[in-house]
Amino acid sequence: MSADEWWRGAAIYQIYPRSFLDANGDGVGDLPGVTERLPYVSSLGVDGIWLSPFFTSPMADFGYDIADYRNVDPIFGTLADFDRLLARAHELGLKVIIDQVYAHTSDRHAWFAESRASRDNPKADWYVWADARPDGSPPNNWQSVFHGPCWTWDARRGQYYLHNFLAAQPNLHVHHPAVQKALLDTARFWLDRGVDGFRLDAINFAMHDPSLLDNPPVAPGFGKRTRPFDFQHHFHNQSHPDVPRFLERVRALLDERGGRFAVAEVGGEQADREMKDYTAGGTRLHSAYGFNFLYADAATPALVHETMALWPGGEGEGWPSWAFSNHDAPRVATRWLGGRDRDALARQMLLLLVALRGNIFLYQGEELGLPQAEVPYERLQDPEAIANWPLTQGRDGARTPMPWASGAPYAGFSTAEPWLPVDPAHAALAVDGQEADAGSILHLTRRLLRLRRERSALRLGALRPVDAPEPLLAFERGEGAERLLCVFNLGEEAASFPLDGWQVIERVGEGLGPCTGLVAERA
């Protein structure tokens, strides 16, 4: 593996800056707080960090509504603070990946202010505008992810504008060459500062079908229906076939610099196809991740085998990335718990994540075994959670402050009341207590990441399923003489599996009881 391919098989730690560490005592995490804790992140044994948005924003969607792509929001610090963070990360041997949100901006962005001013200004076509139907209703039936139609009326232009998320997040017209140039210039700005790559947020929403055809309804019983968004197939408001052409321009820009990396976030019912499409050959993105695990209700052998089978490693195939938890999904220690022991499940899932083929993303607090936090309705911040209460868990429970010190106010996150409450269950799992306990999940995380780093079969090797009776999951990693056997009990009863000719080199739990797993090499 060349130095430029440092990302292949990498373990990347996701930092949600609002909730990592508050260095200035205002209750919100910031970039100096991230910098202060980078030695801790480095001690885990990860290859790099992914920073969720810290750009100038009115925070309608907590940074994913960007008002200035090239500046830091004052709540997080300054550009100088970012430069110090980047320099310190590089001193510690950590790569730095930042979010790029190309599908939409904030409605406070200067581009949108100009675009909405008239139908004939220089940026009039930088966003997606459409006339009303004869009866004044929106141009079509498209529904937004959060709630209600994808269209909002703007009296300045006498037209509707498209937004796949909040009305405060108007969609950019990424078909437009000038918009593509502006986005690529933004990427250059951050590459020139020294970042090592990008995570492209919701990139399959970046281009729509210009014919504005209605989306077809889904059949009764097709998935859960908690929002209007769930009632239709999203064939026309996203997933346009020209998206990969734009991604080729992004990749070309990255290749000019050498050693840079880009991963796409791809959600939705077409995600499996799009992940492959967006990473095919050597001219598109390096990797992509979907929500195969993030939105799954349970971990089953079928889920893992079917997901891994999508990426067999054929000629011209891209490279996958996987996450079990992030800022958009309920934490895995709660989501997949069932009737099992939470501590044991958290350990098992760490070993399973480390054993998968592809890059892995570890979300802050996952190394502590944090469960989904309880956030009372009156403290909710997430617009999706508020709009769909109580049918969805929302995202706030995965975004609460990182617990650093169990006995300190607000678990050491801040000296002031945090923007989201600290769950007492999290304070009990704080970093300081786990550092002092050699048997903690934190120390296990370091050991497992070291194993992945030292064994190329885990970092780079092929994955081959092995027959095992459910609820056992078994597969081999690597090829030829360098093969490792991975076995997990995903059920709630004890099981057995023959290990003749294999010697266990790592395990979580005793035997093959519930929430156990092992990695073995040829004896």
pLDDT of residue 231: 94
Provide DSSP, 65-103. S-SEEEEE-TTT--HHHHHHHHHHHHHTT-EEEEEE--S
Per cent of the chain over pLDDT 90 is: 94
Q: CA–CA separation, 96 vs 492, rounded Å? A: 39
pLDDT of residue 384: 81
Does 462-522 match 3-106+175-450 at the fold level?
no
Buried b (16+ CB within 10 A) or exposed e, 16-49: bbbbbbbbeeebbbbbbbbbebbebbbebbbbbb
- Lowest-pLDDT range, 71-80, 218-227, 314-323, 495-504? 218-227
Q: CA–CA separation, 324 vs 369, rounded Å? A: 12
pLDDT digits (tens, 9 = 90+) for 273-307: 999 999 999 999 999 999 999 999 999 999 999 99
The encoded tokens of residue 353 equal 């994540």
Across 52-63, average pLDDT: 97
Please list, in sequence order, all residues whose beta carbon lies within 8 angstroms of the beta carbon of residue 181, skipping any fewer than 6 positions away: none
pLDDT of residue 365: 98
pLDDT band at 46 (very low <50, low <70, confident <90, very high): very high
What is the pTM assigned to this prediction?
0.97
Please list, in sequence order, all residues whose beta carbon lies within 8 angstroms of the beta carbon of residue 158, skipping any fewer than 6 positions away: none
pLDDT of residue 1: 66
| Active-site residue, 125 included | no
Catalytic pick among 30, 201, 396, 506: 201
| Active-site residue, 201 included | yes
Across 494-512, average pLDDT: 96
What's phi and psi for 36, nearest 5 deg?
A: -60, -35
Q: How many residues does the chain have?
A: 523
pLDDT digits (tens, 9 = 90+) for 418-447: 999 999 999 999 999 999 999 999 999 999
The encoded tokens of residue 131 equal 């006339």
Distance from the Cα of residue 15 to its chain's centroid: 10
Catalytic pick among 255, 256, 417, 482: 256
pLDDT band at 393 (very low <50, low <70, confident <90, very high): low
Average pLDDT, the chain: 96
- Is residue 158 scored above 90 in pLDDT? yes
Q: CA–CA separation, 375 vs 292, rounded Å? A: 26
Amino acid identity, position 207:
M
Q: CA–CA separation, 484 vs 486, rounded Å? A: 6
What's phi and psi for 231, nearest 5 deg?
A: -95, 0
Across 80-109, average pLDDT: 98
With respect to CATH, is domain 462-522 assigned 2.60.40.1180? yes
pLDDT of residue 129: 98
Identify which of 200, 183, 189, 201 has the alpha carbon closest to the alpha carbon of residue 83.
189
Higher-scoring residue by pLDDT: 215, 385: 215
CA atoms within 13 A on the CB side of 274: 28
Per cent of the chain over pLDDT 70 is: 99
Domain ranges of the chain: 3-106+175-450, 462-522
Buried b (16+ CB within 10 A) or exposed e, 306-331: ebbeebeeeeeebbbbbbbbbbbbbb
Bridging pattern class, strands 261-265 and 197-200:
parallel
Across 325-335, average pLDDT: 96
pLDDT of residue 389: 81
Domain 3-106+175-450's class? Answer: alpha beta
Say if CB 29 and CB 413 are below 8 A apart. yes
Higher-scoring residue by pLDDT: 228, 481: 228
- Is residue 244 scored above 70 in pLDDT? yes
pLDDT of residue 473: 98
pLDDT band at 149 (very low <50, low <70, confident <90, very high): very high
H-helix segments, 92-219: 110-115, 177-193
Across 262-266, average pLDDT: 98
